Amino acid sequence: MTKHPIKIAPSILSADFGRLAEEVAAVTEAGADWIHLDIMDGHFVPNLTIGPMVVKAVRQATRLPLDVHLMIESPERCLRAFAEAGADILTVHVEACVHLHRVAHQIRELGEGLGRRISAAVSLNPATSLSTLDVILPDVDLVLVMSVNPGFGGQSFIESTLEKIRELRHWITELGLPTQIEVDGGVTVKNAPAIVQAGADILVAGNTVFTSPDYRKTIAELRGASPAGKKGGKGRSMPPP
């Protein structure tokens, strides 16, 4: 099986919103793989951020896939708007979604209706058990494991997440699924190797990237956490995205 390097998804939550298009272009140029957009509704999380209009503006500023993380109650109300705005990955929280199976299928169907692929993803808060994925895992393309309590950038990584990632990776491997694991919150150049070692395929990094003086260097250092990215490293086998 082909070995795939770790993907880096800068979260624009820590970007300079006054120069958003410029910031998105800068991380695109600096080697980012995806652009991560945090959508917050002031209910599911105690913060408010952006909606489909800003996603649409970001769509104009980059050719990279848009990874849209919906931290909103009843996300099914807004899926179409975010799909039409240009989302390539739509992530809903298991804690915010009663009819998760329906929502996962709605996401993929919206993509088909628009003539492109939209990946369906689910996210788990730090206190939410992996067992909530028991039935839904085969129906999603990606699991976003929160390693901070969602709502704000720049928080510290919750260490117990590492064991959760390991368990999820083991479970996905056992079932022979192509599901990808993305980790979000408190990712730094220092802890990235342990997160990748635990089984992550994609690292979200807001504060680490956007507060650094050199986006290219920081993204490369985060990606260097990949066993495949290290000279002489062995690299985990991964399914294609």
Q: Which of 93, 96, 81 is nearest to 51 (CA)?
A: 81
Answer yes or no whether residue 39 interacts with ligand DX5 by CB under 6 A: no
CB of 161 to ligand DX5, least distance (A): 12
Among 11-19, 55-63, 159-167, 224-232, the segment contacting ligand DX5 (CB under 6 A): 11-19
Ranges of H-type helices in the chain: 20-29, 52-61, 79-85, 100-114, 161-175, 192-198, 207-210, 215-223
Q: Is the C-alpha dihedral spanning 66, 95, 97, 145 positive or negative? A: positive
Check if the beta carbon of residue 201 is closer than 8 Å to that of residue 237: no
When the beta carbons of 13 and 83 are compared against ligand DX5, the nearer one is: 13
Q: Which range touches ligand DX5 (CB under 6 A), out of 85-93, 204-212, 217-225, 231-239?
A: 204-212
Q: Which positions touch Zn ion (CB under 5 A)? A: 38, 69, 184
- Decide if residue 186 touches ligand DX5 (CB under 6 A): yes
Which backbone phi and psi does 26 adopt, to 5 degrees? -65, -45
Query: Among 6, 7, 8, 11, which residue sits at the site for ligand DX5 (rule: CB under 6 A)?
Result: 11
Q: Which residue is associated with the tokens 């494991």?
A: 145
Residue 221 is a binding residue for ligand DX5 (CB under 6 A):
no
Neighbours of 198 (CB within 10 A): 19
For ligand DX5, which residue of 52, 75, 150, 199 counts as binding (CB under 6 A)? Answer: 150
Residue 187 backbone phi and psi in degrees, to 5? -80, 130
CB of 213 to ligand DX5, least distance (A): 16
Letters for 51-70 (x = contact with ligand DX5 by CB under 6 A, - = none) are: ------------------x-
Active-site pick, 33, 38, 88, 141: 38
Instruction: Please name which of 158, 168, 93 lies closest in space to residue 130, comparing C-alpha atoms.
Output: 168
- Positions that interact with ligand DX5 (CB under 6 A): 11, 13-14, 36, 38, 69, 148, 150-155, 184-187, 204-208
Q: Which residues are catalytic?
A: 38, 184
